[in-house]
Structure 1
């Protein structure tokens, strides 16, 4: 299994996954921390999570990515390269504003970044689905998640340290824009898929065929519900986790950033590499179940932080466990989405499926988390996130025949 990570089709997904993950924290957790330290109200911080609406609605323009392509770098990489350049400029532009003085304008720029990021995700997810061989899918999913979560640490934990101790918030966003520009080099060097997927004959066909093919499958609707529910508990726990560590637990921005950078990085690497190997041995269904249970249990660590005195070692342990279990769960989830897609219209199908997974984070966790925290307090809220994770695991068990069939379908 270790040799597959060096595959010319698998390894580039590490760098492209990094580019995919970089913008998310800059419009969510890092922006949340900046707004928190700049004195923005908790309610407004909660509604900033609606910035991520583009991730939920990206299936609406995914058929355009399936049907058309820029005149460079192929059908998938052309879109990835274009969005990366525009993201570099837009992220840097966010650094020219301040949350307390220009919250509305900053939120509008963040919406643009989320739209471009979602478009990059459409093309990148389609590319990874197209380029990987069947036997490389588990390793590819794990490497994608590794790159993605490394980017979350860089644009999340590391960005907090850089902003708090060295560059300030404005220059930190300029630096993140520069990182995104550098990622475009990896896109240029990445290989094309061995088998070119058929381009839809028209935009109408690009819209109709992916949907008709998917909904012709047995249990299609329940699979869609599973995709919404599988990471819902994780979405609730993470919605205001940065605000909790800063305001609820009383840690400094440097402490939060340093712990995320050191322990989060180590756990992310271990989780992603282990996830690929475990999935190869257990198969998709058993990996989803095992990792889903661990993912739910890891949320309980935040409850421990909420009811005990603030200590760096306890935060380090919680962050490490969360990154490890969350990375495992995400790797299996990405492998599920790739297995559900057909190559001819992978952009539209993957966008639809991944957009559904963002519904919980964007429309439920973001707006409802501040209300729940104010109603039951931080300890009660984090205990509740464990319960929220249970329906997804139950539905996974119910749909196990369909999930197990995906491993035998190629």
Structure 2
């Protein structure tokens, strides 16, 4: 049966899509994308820094070293248009994948050998390297997923990618914390670096996708590759609506993003051990996130993106208030489970809803670059405020910080109310011009 004759529609088609080699490939590539994130940009790193005695203000500032994850749209056009020179023989997508994965592994190994309490400069340097390589890997994986299978198989590939990503989070969260508790941080980071062998092997064994043809893309030169995706976004939506959409995406998960850096220190300061944090936050919590993602997918299919954006925004804000319960009952494991249940369930739910919305905003001629821009904006505001969140906590309290973070949902809801009447914004593929369909 030819590729053109294969259909992935209906339940039988979904089962066929999940059984393809591409689905297994995306599982492993998702694992490679998820593995480094907590180690260089979130809770595992901040927990390590607090464990060696760094103050909260310094921890927040050091977290800004992972900012490349927020700026990957700046070099995404290069990933779209060219193969990486040294590994070009693998093809355009796999050449970037292999180089970025190898650099991530080397940077994690280097972080294992640094001493944060003695040489913060070396730690920040390697976090920068790992952040740039990890962000590049993410962009290459997104492009690979889009090109490796037809549109009606993308749901299965996205699902297997997400499952692999969550497995990466479990190992770099719970796994790394368990190893750190019993064997030390050096062993934990070296073990994580070794696990990058799995996605590296997958890249070497996987097939290179055939890039879709586009007359629009063929007319774009090197300079146009950088500005045309952004010009297309604003020409389609107009300046006012385009800016409103970008601000809305940037604010949507702000309540969740702003508390991310302080989560690890808060758990330690509340009297929980690293093993407790691993079990509840990075093992149980990951599965709650998977459950939330499943619920989000079902809810979007049943009720549409627009209504679920409202539900998700409210849920993310209220889940922050759940951390007040932990602050009121420190060291109580039931309070930890309750807060993590609410937080991760709504994180997973909101993540799927936001992905569906951002997909509807993307011009299919510039998927990699525009999607990278939207993902970066979804994390940028919270990331920068998270960088100074330690000072906010030290000036007030954890309880005040969590309440204030929940209240930041108000601007998001006001923007959503303004966008509500523009129903076509919430339909998949509404921005794709006729020419993009003929690819």
Q: Distance in 1 between matches of 2:101 and 2:411?
A: 37
2:37 alignment partner in structure 1: 24
Q: Distance in 1 between matches of 2:73 and 2:430?
A: 27
Q: CA deviation at 1:240?
A: 0.7
Whole-Å Cα distance in 2 between the matches of residues 384 and 89 of structure 1? 39
Using a 3 Å threshold, how does the CA distance of structure 1 residues 63 and 171 change in structure 2: closer, same or farther?
same
State how far apart, in whole Å, the 2-side matches of 1:123 and 1:75 are: 9
Deviation at residue 224 of structure 1 after TM alignment: 0.6
Partner of 2:412: 392
CA deviation after TM superposition for structure 1 residue 55, in Å: 1.7
Alignment of 1:79-118 (within 5 A): 79-118=96-135
Larger deviation, residues 324-333 vs 342-351: 342-351
Instruction: Report which stretch shifted further, 177-186 or 112-121.
Output: 177-186
CA 1:278–1:15 in structure 2 vs 1: closer, same or farther (change >3 Å)? farther
1:184 aligns with 2:205: no
Report the Cα offset of residue 7 of structure 1.
5.5
Residue 355 (structure 1) aligns with: 376
Cα RMSD, aligned residues only: 2.4
1:285 matches 2:285: no
Instruction: Supply the distance in 2 between the matched residues of 1:293 and 1:13 (Cα, whole angstroms).
Output: 32
Quick one: structure 1 residues 136 and 325, their matched pair in 2 at CA, closer, same or farther if it must change by over 3 Å? farther
C-alpha distance after superposition, 1:27-83 (max 9, x if no partner): 132121111111112211110111122122222222211221132444323312221
Aligned residues: 407
SS in 2 for 1:316: helix
Closer, same or farther: CA 32–257 of 1 in aligned 2, 3 Å: same
Which runs of 5 or more residues in structure 1 are unaligned? Answer: none
Provide the C-alpha distance between the structure 1 equivalents of 2:317 and 2:357, rounded to a whole number of angstroms.
18
Query: Secondary structure in 1 aligned to 2:425?
Result: helix
Could you tell me which residue of structure 2 aligns to residue 203 of structure 1? 222
What is the distance in 2 between the residues matched to 1:398 and 1:144? 34
| Contact 2:46 2:261 (8 Å CA) reproduced | no
Gaps of 5+ in 2: 1-9, 433-439
Matches within 5 A, 1:369-384: 369-384=389-404
What TM-score do you get using the length of structure 1 for normalisation?
A: 0.91
The TM-score, its normalising length taken from structure 2, stands at 0.85
Structure 1 pair 62/144, CA: closer, same or farther in 2 (3 Å)?
same
Where 1:216 maps in the other structure, the secondary structure is helix
1:315 counterpart residue number: 336
Please give the alpha-carbon distance, in whole angstroms, between the structure 2 residues aligned to 1:210 and 1:41.
42
- Which of structures 1 and 2 has the bigger CA Rg? 2
* Separation (CA, whole Å) in 1 of partners of 2:326 and 2:369: 41
Query: Aligned-pair distance for 1:394?
Result: 2.9
Counterpart in the other structure of 1:213: 232
Which of 36, 51, 54 is the equivalent residue of 2:50? Answer: 36
Kindly provide the CA deviation profile for residues 224-254 of structure 1, in whole angstroms up to 9, marking residues without a partner as x.
111110110111122211110002x111111
Among candidates 288, 291, 296, match of residue 267 of structure 1: 288
Q: Does 1:58 align with 2:58?
A: no
**Do 2:319 and 2:339's aligned partners in 1 also have CA atoms closer than 8 Å?**
yes
1:327-342 maps to which residues of 2 (within 5 A)? 327-342=348-363
Runs of at least 4 residues off by over 6 Å: none
Distance 1:178 1:95 in 2: 11
